[in-house]
Structure 1
Amino acid sequence: MKVSIFDVAKKSGLSVVTVSRVINQAGTVREKNRQKVLQVMKELDYRPNAAARSLARGKTGIIGLAITTLNDSFLDAVVKEINDRLAEKGYFLALSISTEVFSSFDKSMFQEDRVDGVIMLSPIHEDQYVMELKKKKIPFVMLDNQNVHPSVSSVIVDNYKGGYEATKHLIELGHKEIAHISGPEPFLSSSERKRGFESAMQDAGLNPSWIVRGDFSITSGYEVTNRWIQAGKLPSAVFAADDLTAFGVMDACKNAGYQVPRDISIIGFDDQIFSAEFRPRLTTVRQPAAKMGKHGVDLLLKWIDGTVKRGATVQLEPELIIRESTSRKQN
């Protein structure tokens, strides 16, 4: 027999009105009662009718997420957290994966009657998205955005601090010839991590000029390192702008007979899912994927509910994760 709202009310010991308010996310329910209703709904596997709920709220119950790729375990972790958080709040997630600005799905998503709000994760050409969303008056939040928009709600990681701490770790191990393989130019994360590298080197009285541009890929890390090896000039340590680049550095070194970390120390950024699986395990800077997804959803839903002003920015702290790919400089 299908579970009804009356069954939820009976088991929770609360009124049907209270249960309805919880389902429709009304702000007039005590937190204790709200949690009780949600727990009973979970126990009874009760799923309210989405169409009826949306009609009652005057909303679609759908949040759009625009992303350029899922070929990245960090981004995948953020998306999973966003989906889980939205599900807890009774929302469905509509996902758009495209490297093109305003793909056909994006165009249909950027309509007031299609979604209640939009989350943009690591957007490219974000200025055009911002203009369109503002014009349509659709609530939106940017995660890991590439530009600073004072009037836009966003969640970012302190990439400068991450780059600084990664480089400082190598310096404290006695390394002086430290190279940095940066990320591509459009990304704010790339420039901030590079800026952190430069600051840490300068603070230690070292020359931060050994910088080569990469593109956040295994191939770029491999090719850059292979050129160093062929030229007979290999640094004692490398700070790679992301873990994929670091994997490429490790691969090139291993193929040429160098041992990591005996001959060269390597540190990445992101803490991808394979970072703790490769041998040696990769030292890296962890981005708080779960916190990014959580804060993104919270900011967006507060905007939708009218409980927060636009332009709120949350900056999260990265964490240095020391594993096996870095060690003290050998004399």
Structure 2
Amino acid sequence: MPVTMRDVAKEAGVSIKTVSRVVNNQGEITDSTRERVLAVIERLGYRPNLIARGLVTQRTYTIGLNIQDITNPFFPEVARGVQDMARAHNYNVFLCNSDDDPQEEIRTLQTLADQSVDGIISFPNRQSTVRLFAEENRPFVLINSDMKHPHVSQVMTNNFQGAKLAVDHLATKGHTEIGMITGQYLQESQRVLGFEAGLKAHGLTITPSRFLSGMPKFERGIEATHQLLTEHPEISAIFTFNDLLAAGAIQACKKLGRRVPDDCAIIGFDDTQLASLIDPPLTSVRLPKYEIGQVAMQRLLEMLEHPDQDFPPIHLDVELIVREST
């Protein structure tokens, strides 16, 4: 016979309600009681019946997480933050990868909706796509999107300030001819604005032909850097919109005989684990990746508990981590 919540309560000397509170991580319970109940759960091998629990609460206790590129080291760190917070509240995470493709993003979100997840955390490519699914009254937490909708909340990093910090750093190093390689995400519009504001603050010229965009991947970093330095040999520094692009930029500089940072300084964005492994180690704008995931999941839980409440955006700070590439 499977172990029941009643069995756990009897063995631990507590009420069934107390066991339920421990399992669901709810209510005020003393540490000693919680530890005693958890010890009994482990000893008896009790497993909560999520289906029965869902019938009572009208929830699946599963949330969806849509990321843009699982091969980008930025996203696994965010996903870990989501997973750890979800696990602490007895939720499962259904992970989907839209592969930087707006059409795949639609299919991904449809998959999550078909799975009847309680809510969704997403890095959106298109606001119109998310708006379509948000109309289903399903709680959405968007990361780095300022979309306004009754069922949508946002977790924002200060992308504008991050880009401006990068330009400030390059300008103080004496660089006046600076190129930029962007990706194609919604949040990057703020990085462009921050980059341009930094140039203006230092009296530097905004030259559109020095700004290239494309898929935010290593290969694109190589291609774009080769194009920038071939068409604009005067460029002495390049700001890229993620660390993969920056790694590609460094590789291209080596192929072109440009020393980093002596002949061309490189700055990335995200400060993933990759940044310290690149040769030379990469200067990068650090985003609080794990915290982004934790905060996003916490916000989704709050939206589930208070569906009629409006939640203001959460803003997280960034910082510039200076290494040897500048």
- Mark the CA change 1:228 to 1:131 in structure 2 (over 3 Å): closer, same or farther: closer
Matching residue of 2:202: 204
Q: Where does the alignment leave 5 or more consecutive residues of structure 2 unmatched?
A: none
1:183 is paired with a residue of what secondary structure? coil
Return closer, same or farther for 1:189/1:139 CA change in 2, 3 Å cut-off. closer
Structure 1 match to 2:147? 148
Q: TM-score, normalised by structure 2?
A: 0.86
**Are the counterparts in 1 of residues 106 and 129 from structure 2 also a CA contact under 8 Å?**
no
Structural mapping, 1:119-198, within 5 Å: 119-120=121-122, 122-134=123-135, 136-145=136-145, 147-149=146-148, 151=150, 152-184=152-184, 187-198=185-196
Counterpart residue number, 2:112: 109
Matched-pair identity in %: 32
Shift of 1:137: 1.5
Name the SS for the 1:21 alignment partner: helix
Q: Cα offset for 1:30?
A: 4.2
Q: Please state whether the residue corresponding to 1:269 is helix, strand or coil.
A: strand
CA contact 2:127–2:147 (8 Å) conserved in 1: no
Q: Is the 8 A contact 2:179 2:228 kept in 1?
A: no
Change in 2 beyond 3 A, CA 1:232/1:198:
closer
Contact 2:65 2:96 in 1 (8 A): yes
Q: Which residue of 2 aligns with 1:316?
A: 316
| Partner Cα distance (1:266, 1:105) in 2 | 34
Counterpart Cα distance in 2 of 1:312 and 1:288: 19
Q: Hey, what does 2:52 align to over in structure 1?
A: 52
Q: Verify the 8 A CA contact 2:175 2:236 in the aligned structure 1.
A: yes
For residue 16 of structure 1, report the CA deviation from its aligned partner.
3.1
Q: Distance in 2 between matches of 1:164 and 1:102?
A: 30
Q: Does 1:214 align with 2:217?
A: no
**Structure 2: distance between partners of 1:38 and 1:206:** 64
Partner of 1:21: 21
Question: Within 2, Cα distance between the matches of 1:180 and 1:321?
Answer: 18
SS at match of 2:180: strand
TM-score by length of 1: 0.85
Question: How far is 1:297 from its partner?
Answer: 0.7
Offset, 1:32: 4.7
Gaps of 5+ in 1: 327-331
Change (3 A) 1:234 1:115: same
